Amino acid sequence: MSETLLSARVVRAPALAEGEWINTPAPIALAGLRGQTVLVDFWDYTCINCLRTLPYLRQWHARYRPHGLVIIGVHAPEFAFGRERGQIEAAVRELDIPYPVLLDSGFRTWDAFANRCWPAKYLIDPHGYIRYQSRGEGGYEAFERAIQAVLLEDNPSRELPPVMQPLRPEDRPGAVCYRATPELHAGLERGALGNPEGYAGGVPVLYRMPAQRPHGAFYAEGAWQAGREYLSYQGQAEGVIKLPYEAVEVNAVLAPHFEAVERMLHPQTVSVEVWQDDLPLDEAVRGADVSAEGRALVDRPRLYNLVRNPGFERHELTLRVRARGFAVYAFSFTTCARP
């Protein structure tokens, strides 16, 4: 996480580009919000750091909307399926996002702000100037204090609530954040497949599981085909993915099928068996998206929480699947342990 406090009226916020909106009956222009404090949040619904920031944004919306704060989410998609309006609408509902969301599928607003990462937050004062910005998760207390400072500049007599306490134990002072396995992508563009067979774009490859599986990659067994963003199972029996990692939690961006038309015409839920260290996933470490039977039920493209270890640990995760077209896009990890 990085943050920047800017002095008054230094950088004027650019206009929001045209696009589709969710949670508002009409498009919003920043010029039409003069006199109000605006928080613009760049996010993607498959980004774990973005999702961990959302509880704070929801609270700020509830706490400061009566005092003139307007929050606008700008959804800039990391993967092609993130351009499908239906996927974002479902995510906004499931994540209980109460404020307007601009679909920035062409990254026009992203480019106008010269933004470079997810999540990123920009605080704009009532005169239209960017006064504070933050990249990555964390720094919630500092950002809330910046919100209060800008609101009080506009009206020093406002009676604002006290700054919130951390919403999660791992956000509290004393929490330790370790250097975890980096985010791993599965497709041709940024792929971290560690098999010696490598990638072959456009055609399935029959992979054999290597006996040695160093960290910093994932490994496949069975017939898999690579696309630009994903690795898709194309076999008849069972496909296996093994992921050695170091982290507290493991998340995976998965889809029941890599083709949007197939997902629409033949919707299905794919059952993915989840093991850890060659054993069925223990109840104590099952992620939020793993059932009591140790399976992740993949019904649409999104981020699935697979493992929640009690602390920062080293393991090997195994995914087993039998559905043709099932796609793996990325693995991400959380690193901070409770104090």
pLDDT digits (tens, 9 = 90+) for 165-224: 999 988 888 778 888 999 999 999 999 999 999 999 789 999 999 999 999 999 999 999
Q: How much is the pTM?
A: 0.94
- In this predicted structure, what is the pLDDT of residue 175? 77
Secondary structure class of 132 (helix, strand, coil): strand
Q: What percent of the chain has pLDDT over 70?
A: 97
Pick the CATH number of 184-337 from 1.10.167.10, 1.10.579.10, 2.60.120.260, 3.20.20.70: 2.60.120.260
Please state, in angstroms and rounded to a whole number, the distance separating the CA atoms of residues 298 and 327: 10
Q: What residues are paired with 250 via a beta bridge?
A: 307, 333
Closest to 337 measured CA to CA, from 187, 192, 170, 171:
170
Tell me where in the chain the CATH 3.40.30.10 domain(s) lie. 2-167
Query: How many CB atoms neighbour CB 218 within 10 A?
Result: 26
DSSP SS3 for 68: coil
Q: What pLDDT is recorded for position 156?
A: 93
Q: In this predicted structure, what is the pLDDT of residue 9?
A: 55
Q: Which of 127, 100, 124, 152 is nearest to 34 (CA)?
A: 127
Q: Which two tokens stand for residue 64?
A: 């400061």
**Whole-number Å distance between alpha carbons of 275 and 289:** 14
Q: Are 262 and 327 in contact (CB under 8 A)?
A: no
Provide the pLDDT confidence category of residue 6 given band limits of 50, 70 and 90.
low
Handedness of CA 285, 290, 294, 300 (dihedral sign): negative
CATH superfamily of 2-167: Glutaredoxin (3.40.30.10)
Longest Cα–Cα distance in the chain = 69
**Which residue type, as a one-letter code, is found at position 200?**
A
What pLDDT score was predicted for residue 275? 98
Rg of the chain over Cα atoms, rounded to whole angstroms, equals 21
pLDDT tens digits, 290-315:
999 999 999 999 999 999 999 999 99
Helix/strand/coil for 149: helix
* Spatial separation of the C-alpha atoms in residues 3 and 25, rounded to whole Å: 33
CB-CB neighbours of 143 under 10 Å: 23
For helices 48-64 and 140-154, give the axis angle rounded to 10 degrees.
Answer: 30
DSSP readout, 168-189? SGGGSTT-EE---PPPEE-STT
